[in-house]
Amino acid sequence: MTLPARAQEPGTTTTIHTEGAGAVRRTVLPGGLRVITESMPTVRSAAFGIWSGVGSRDEAVADAGASHYLEHVLFKGTRTRSALEISAALDAVGGDLNAFTAKEYTCYYARVLDSDLPLAVDVVSDMVAASVNRPEDVEAERGVILEEIHMRDDDPGDLIHDEFATALYGDTPLGRPILGTVESINALSRDRIHDYYREHYVPSNLVVSVAGNIDHEEVVGLVSRAFAEHLTGGAAPAAPRLNGAPVPVAPSTRVIDKDTEQAHIVLGGAGVSRTDDRRFALGVLNAALGGGMSSRLFQEVREKRGLAYSVYSYTAQYADSGVFGVYAGCQPGKVEEVLSICRDEVAKVAGDGGQGLTAEELERGKGQLRGAMVLGLEDTGSRMSRIGKSELVYESLLPVDEVLARIEAVTLEDVRAVAHEVLDSPQALTVIGPVGDRDFAA
């Protein structure tokens, strides 16, 4: 077990662990800003990210969409840089500059050649630490976000996931869309956005993570200078949202009649939280049920019957909750048939009545998780994400070898147990398509 940041003295540095040729190190700056790096000496690039521990689940109803709106506004200018100066700086070196907002965090990142890291640190830190959130910029960005909402509405394969969250969690912070609604976006004022920024973008709620051909001490120096005027006001690093009781779910059925070519379906229920020991077994179950082309759902729905182009299962994890869901897109007239197959396949692996997985599926599922994990860690962006997100939302960073060992240790009985708990629980259902008011109850 590695040392949690909360137990580390501000102003000190610790080596969390070494992996392969590189090492993961963390420095907590005075004021609580955490800087975590992973050196990858064989690459020539670096990925730099700043993570804020705020996301859509922190929003009151009246603030719905504020985290994401703010993420956009932070690109619009600082005390010393215009929006054009921000984007031109990274474009000029061919860097990727982007950001995303999730339910529990927001991340701003740049990927650049290693020699351009000082530039990336300077620009992205300035964006995050010294945003001015001018009223005219907040206003212009409101139109952009409304268009983003409309774009989501035009893509039913995207919209269905937001609708499903509402079907599972109801009108609660985890159930509401990250984008907010047209109404909430129109109602958010510049002052509210600016207050939200000052409240949540404090050093103790921020993590800087860097992976690539970098030197930890050099990165700490760059970050210290970039944040020099913004390091106060923070207390000790905030604890992850490990508040104990799981978030209650209230699964319902939402059928949205819409003039589309395909019907889009998501069926699912509560999964496991981010720190739940059962997550490795659920990962194996997910792989076998709908995680790849050899999975049961892909084989039954697509390979054998040609009913869908896209069919898969997935998991999502939050601090105190999680989701296990199945997606399929099919002809509107085939929804009942596809749903029936999905429910049958779920029943076959779930609980007391089911036969569970075969030994072969168990091994294949483990191999799939293992290979995907190792392959997924070859680029600097993935490594930066792993350490940054871990620092923000986990108690500690699990070394890759330990994750692999935990996957390897999963037994058929573990899978059977988690399948029963997750799949034999009440399920929410969302269907979007030209389906009128058809009843899709099991």
Residues between 72 and 101 with contacts to its own copies, criterion CB under 8 A: 75-76, 83-84, 86-88, 90-97
Nearer to its own copies, 92 or 242 (CB): 92
Q: Does 65 bind its own copies (CB under 8 A)?
A: no
- In the complex, minimum distance from the CB of residue 343 to its own copies, in angstroms, rounded to a whole number: 20
| 181 lies in the binding site for its own copies (CB under 8 A) | no
Taking CB under 8 A as the criterion, which residues in 197-236 touch its own copies?
Answer: none
- Footprint of its own copies on residues 294-333 (CB under 8 A)? 294-295, 298-299, 302-310, 329-331
Applying CB under 8 A, among 37, 52, 184, 262 the residue interacting with its own copies is 262
- The CB-of-374 to its own copies minimum distance in angstroms stands at 6
What CA–CA distance (Å, rounded) separates 31 from 229? 11
Residue 424 structure tokens = 């034999």
Does 412 bind its own copies (CB under 8 A)? Our answer is no
Contact 256, 225 (CB under 8 A): no
Choose one: 29-37, 164-172, 287-295, 343-351; the region binding its own copies (CB under 8 A): 287-295
Among 7, 18, 30, 44, binds its own copies (CB under 8 A): 44
In the residue annotation, 71 being an active-site residue is answered as: yes
Q: Taking CB under 8 A as the rule, does residue 116 contact its own copies?
A: yes
Question: At closest approach, how far in Å is the CB of 424 from its own copies?
Answer: 26
Q: What is the CA radius of gyration of the chain?
A: 23
Nearer to its own copies, 30 or 434 (CB): 434
39 binds its own copies (CB under 8 A): no
Q: Of the two residues 5 and 74, which places its CB atom closer to its own copies in the complex?
A: 74
CA distances from 219 to 5, 26, 224, 226, 227 (A): 18, 11, 8, 10, 12
Residue linked to tokens 């990336």: 120
Query: CB-wise, 186 or 243, nearer to its own copies?
Result: 186
By beta-carbon proximity to its own copies, the closer residue of 247 and 311 is 311
The reply to whether 394 sits near its own copies by the rule CB under 8 A is: no
Minimum distance, C-beta of residue 11 to its own copies, in the bound complex (Å): 34
- Among 127, 214, 369, 410, interactor with its own copies by CB under 8 A: 369
Should residue 408 be labelled a site residue for its own copies when binding is judged by CB under 8 A? no
Q: Which of 138, 141, 128, 142 is nearest to 79 (CA)?
A: 128
Q: How far apart are CA 118 and CA 126, in angstroms?
A: 12
Q: Choose, by CB under 8 A, the member of 3, 11, 135, 150 that binds its own copies.
A: 150
Q: Which of 32, 53, 156, 290 binds its own copies (CB under 8 A)?
A: 156
Among 61, 147, 242, 243, binds its own copies (CB under 8 A): 147
- What's the closest the beta carbon of residue 18 comes to its own copies, in angstroms? 17
Which listed residue (71, 104, 300, 361) is catalytic?
71
Residue 370 or 406 with smaller CB distance to its own copies: 370
CB 149 to its own copies: min, Å:
8
Question: Which residue, 5, 8, 14, 4, is CA-closest to 220?
Answer: 14
Regarding 189 and contact with its own copies (CB under 8 A), the answer is no
Using the minimum distance from each CB to its own copies, give the nearer residue, 146 or 238: 146
Least Cβ distance, residue 144 to its own copies (angstroms): 5
User: Where in the sequence numbering do the catalytic residues fall?
Assistant: 71
